Amino acid sequence: MNLKSSLGRKMLAPVFPRSRQLGGFALLDPLVGILVFASVMAGAINLWRLAEYKCACARIDARVAQILRENADYVTYVAYDLLPADGTQPRSGFLLHPLDRDTGRYKDIYPFTVTAAVTTTGAGTPAEAKQIILTLSYNTAPDPQAADSPLQTIRTNVLERVKD
């Protein structure tokens, strides 16, 4: 009897933990799961947003390079007498024109100006030449609110033209 009762106790002993296993998750389990899931999603979305921001920056950079290339071509090929004067703005406008879905019109964002800095050497002589540096300035926000200026400035190398 003693042996039987002790075996019976041993057999019954695992029953209590089993009933705990069948009792479902504790409150802490799903909370930890949700916390981990939320952390992963927050990280993934922030990473995605960063990638998106970098894409937008790359788009602006490409547009800036395009405008400078166009203006450099113009300065390189235009007749000498039609070269822009010092301090003038050969071109201005907006970098991007995204479609506004609400109005169905293209918006104008990020205003820019191209300014020519022209240095003339040997003026009035047969060796007269001009060194031209184009500077593109643009704002990444049309109405800057931040204390730091969002104004960006890009300059070309010196473009030299000789009067033939």
Partner 1 sequence: MCSRGSKIRKGRESGFTLLEALAGLVLVAVAAGAIADAIVGILKRSYVTIEVTRVSDESERFAAAFTQAGKSATSWAVYSDRAAYLADPVGNVSVQGNALVFQDQLPTGTKIIEMFEYDPVAQTLSRYENSLSQPRSLLNKVVPTKDRTTVFGQDLGLVQAHWTVQSPYELMDFEAYGNPLRMR
Binding string to partner 1 for residues 45 to 64, with x set by CB under 8 A, is what?
Answer: x--xx-xx--xx--x--xx-
Q: Name which position in 24, 87, 124, 126 contacts partner 1 (CB under 8 A).
A: 24
d(CA 153, CA 156): 10
Q: How far is the CB of 57 from partner 1 (least distance, A)?
A: 11
Contact 67/94 with Cβ under 8 angstroms? no
d(CA 74, CA 66): 12
Q: The tokens of 69 are what?
A: 């290339």
Does 82 bind partner 1 (CB under 8 A)? Our answer is: yes
Which helix (H) or strand (E) is 75 found in, with range? Answer: helix 28-77
Of 139, 138, 136, 133, give the one whose Cα is nearest residue 159.
133
Instruction: For partner 1, give the closer residue by CB, 50 or 141.
Output: 50
106 C-beta neighbours (distance < 10 Å), count: 12
Does 121 bind partner 1 (CB under 8 A)? Our answer is: no
Bridge partner list, 119: 131
From the list 71-79, 111-119, 128-136, 145-153, the region that binds partner 1 by CB under 8 A is 71-79
Q: Total binding residues for partner 1 by CB under 8 A?
A: 34
Instruction: For partner 1, give the closer residue by CB, 74 or 111.
Output: 74
d(CA 10, CA 26): 27
Instruction: For partner 1, give the closer residue by CB, 3 or 17.
Output: 17
By CB under 8 A, name the binding residues for partner 1: 19-20, 22-25, 30, 38, 41, 45, 48-49, 51-52, 55-56, 59, 62-63, 66, 70, 73-74, 76-79, 82, 93, 96-99, 106
